[in-house]
Amino acid sequence: MKIFVQIASYRDPQLVPTIKNMIENAKRPKNLRIGVARQFSPEDGFDDLSEFMGDKRFRILNIPYQEAQGVCWARNLVQQLYEGEEYTLQIDSHMRFAPNWDDEMIKMIKQLQKKGHEKPLLTGYVSSFDPENDPEGRVNEPWRMTFDRFIPEGAVFFLPESIPGWQDMKEPIPSRFYSAHYCFTLGQFSNEVQHNPEYYFHGEEISIAARAYTWGYDLFHPHKALIWHEYTRKGRTKQWDDDKEWGRKNNHSHLTNRKLFGMDGETQEGHDGVFGFGTVRTLRDYEKYAGLLFERRAVQQYTIDKNYPPNPYNFDNEEDWKNSFAVVFKHCIDIGYSQVPETDYEFWVVAFHDANDETIFRKDADKAEINRMMNDPDGYCKVWRDFQTSHQPAYWVVWPYSTSKGWCERITGQLNHNHVS
C-alpha cells in the first residue's frame, strides 16, 4: 500500500526536518513515494535535498524561487509526479508526525469505506506545533474546521477549533471543508481533483472542497492527532514577499474563484473543465450538504452553529431552501496606530456603506474597545464587525472623535473587489 506524499515548499528551513520526521515516524517508510516542489534560493542553504537525491522514493523538482508562481501552481506540479500509488498525502513543508501515522491514516480510510464511503478523504486544519519547542509544544487535541466568513473578494474563510468530545470518539467526523496543508485520501485524487495553477492562495481550499465533493469524495476530520502544522512561520520568506506581481496574481485568483462558483453575477466559468466540478454530485449538492449558497454569499444557521454536516433538508421546494440562508458579512478593518494618534478618543464611528453611500450597518467603538485595540500585541488596531445584510457593502468608514480635538481624520477603505480582472 504505497503512499504518494506531496510537498510544495518555498524557501522553508522546515522542509528537511519535516521530511525526516515523516520518514522516521512511518511504520512502513519503504512504501512512501515523496514528491517535492522545492522552490529555493542557493543563498539559503537550509533546504538542500541532496542527501535524498539517490533515494528512489523521491521525485524532486528543484525550482529557482524567481520562477515560482504561487502555491497552487507548485502543488499542481507535484501532482504531475503521481504514478498510481494507492494513497496520497498532501502536506505543507512545516509539519510533524505521530508514530505509525501511515498505518493509522490507512486504517481510518478503510474504516470509513466499510461504512459505505467509497472515497473517504481525511483533512483539516490540524493541531499546531512549535519547532523551537518540539514535541513539548504540540497541541494534542484534534481540530476541526468551522465556517468563519465570506471575505470581500468572495473566498470562504474557516477557523480551527478543538473537536468537542474527541476523547470518546472511535472514528473520524464529517467535515464541510478542505485543508490544503493536510489531505489523506485515495491516490486517484491526484488525477481527479488537481489544483488549479490559476489560483494563487485564497480560494484554493473552498474550491477543492466543493470539487472533491462533486467527484464523490466524502470529507472527514481525523478524530485523533496524527500530524501537526506550524502556523506562525515568523520571519520566514513567503512567495509573495519575493514576487512583485503577487497582487495582480492574487486578484486574478479571486476572480477565477468567483467565476467558478458564479458569484456576484459573474458568468460561471471553469466549472466544466479539468479544474472544474465532477459528475458524481453537483455544486448544488455540495451547497445543500455544507449549508452554503455561493451566488448570494450566504450561509445557513445550522452551519454557523457548527453542527456536523450534512445539513438537514426539510424544505418543500428549492425556494424555501434558499430562504433559509442568511447573508452574514464579517470583516476586520486594520487601522495603523499612526492613523489614530490621539490619546483621548471618546468613540469611533464604525460604519459600512453601499455603492450609493447609504449606511448598511453602524456600530461604534467605545472607549473600552478602543483601549483594547490600542494595546493589541500585533501592533495595530483590529476593528471586527459582523452583521446580516441583504447586499454587499462597498466601503467602510472609521471616524474617530476626540475630547480635545473633536472630529478627527475620517478613515475609509474599499471592500468591493468585483472590478478586478
Q: What is the pLDDT of residue 417?
A: 53
Q: What is the pLDDT of residue 328?
A: 85
CATH class of 329-414: mainly beta
Q: What is the pLDDT of residue 64?
A: 96
CATH class of 3-229: alpha beta
From CA 373, how far away is CA 383, in angstroms rounded? Answer: 8
Grid cell at residue 173:
467526523
Phi-psi region of 41 (alpha: psi -120 to 50; beta: other; left: phi over 0): beta
- In 66-116, which residue ranges form alpha helices assigned H by DSSP? 71-79, 101-114
- Please tell me the pTM assigned to this model: 0.86
Taking 70 as the pLDDT cut, the residues of the chain under it are 235, 416-421
Contact 321, 381 (CB under 8 A): no
State how far Cα 415 lies from the chain centre: 20
Residue 166: half-sphere exposure toward Cβ, Cα within 13 Å: 17
Q: What is the pLDDT of residue 420?
A: 36
- Cis peptide bond prior to 400, omega within 30° of 0: no
Closest CA to 307 of 173, 217, 178, 208: 173
Q: What is the pLDDT of residue 292?
A: 98
The domain limits of the chain are: 3-229, 239-326, 329-414
Residue 411: half-sphere exposure toward Cβ, Cα within 13 Å: 19
Quick: pLDDT tens for 33-83: 999 999 999 999 999 999 999 999 999 999 999 999 999 999 999 999 999
Contact 211, 286 (CB under 8 A): no
From CA 138, how far away is CA 133, in angstroms rounded? Answer: 8
Q: What is the pLDDT of residue 239?
A: 83
